[in-house]
Amino acid sequence: MSITRKRYFDHTVTIDEQPIRLCLKRMTVPEFEEFRAMFAALAQKRGAPSTLGTDGASATIDDIRAEAAYLKANAEWQQGVFEAYVTVCAGDVVDQDADGTLVPVTNGRHFAEMFHGEGVIADVLAELYVSNVLTDQQKKTLRLRSGLATGSLGAASPVTPGETPEPTAATAASLNSVSDADVMAPISDTSSGTTDRSSSEAVPCAI
């Protein structure tokens, strides 16, 4: 049995008790290193205004503008990630355009815009991270260590309407629980692969 490095990864999220099938695309090494830096920064809220997450009682108008700029940049980065690396399986999500026409959603950015502010965004970002660095067996071990063997990698924290969810503290802790060799080493196109059927690259979203 050979070890094949997957180009696409199947992932299912649940929204309103409905399963939504996603296809996640493997990143190149430079793409992943940029993604990892942003993922870690958001999880630790590096660069966030000091007033973010406080009651805001003493916030000035400049503080509020700084918060808005931070959240906007956060959302734009996440939507760009979804556009580049996430595809929605046709038929699972439908949007309504300005004319009232129902439009099937397959583009990742469209999906991220529709569900902006919901925990599913952080779930997919976490899955993108581990799918790029762990084998299927390593992911199972990670979930077992997290006590989430049948669920997602980390429960998303509640967010207020309009707020862009960040990678959760639980997710960050789960990732840190795996050895540096498993998670933090740079990815390679010739290693850390998973056993997979040969047709996987030709049939994205075949969940």
Q: How far apart are CA 42 and CA 78, in angstroms?
A: 10
What average pLDDT does this structure show over 156-182?
A: 43
What average pLDDT does this structure show over 201-205?
A: 49
Residue 188 has pLDDT above 70, yes or no: no
All structural domains of the chain with their residue ranges = 8-178
Residue identified by tokens 């569900």 is 115
pLDDT band at 54, cuts 50/70/90?
confident
pLDDT band at 206, cuts 50/70/90?
low
Q: Which pairing describes strands 94-96 and 18-25: parallel, antiparallel, or unpaired?
A: unpaired
Residue 143 has pLDDT above 50, yes or no: yes
Identify the weakest region by mean pLDDT among 34-38, 91-95, 122-126, 147-151.
147-151
pLDDT in tens, 94-128: 999 999 999 999 999 999 999 998 899 999 999 99
111-117 contacts at long range (C-beta below 8 A, 24 or more positions apart) = 111/22, 111/82, 111/86, 112/78, 112/79, 112/82, 112/83, 112/86, 113/79, 115/15, 116/75, 116/79, 116/162, 116/164, 117/159, 117/160, 117/161, 117/162, 117/163, 117/164, 117/165
* pTM summary value: 0.70
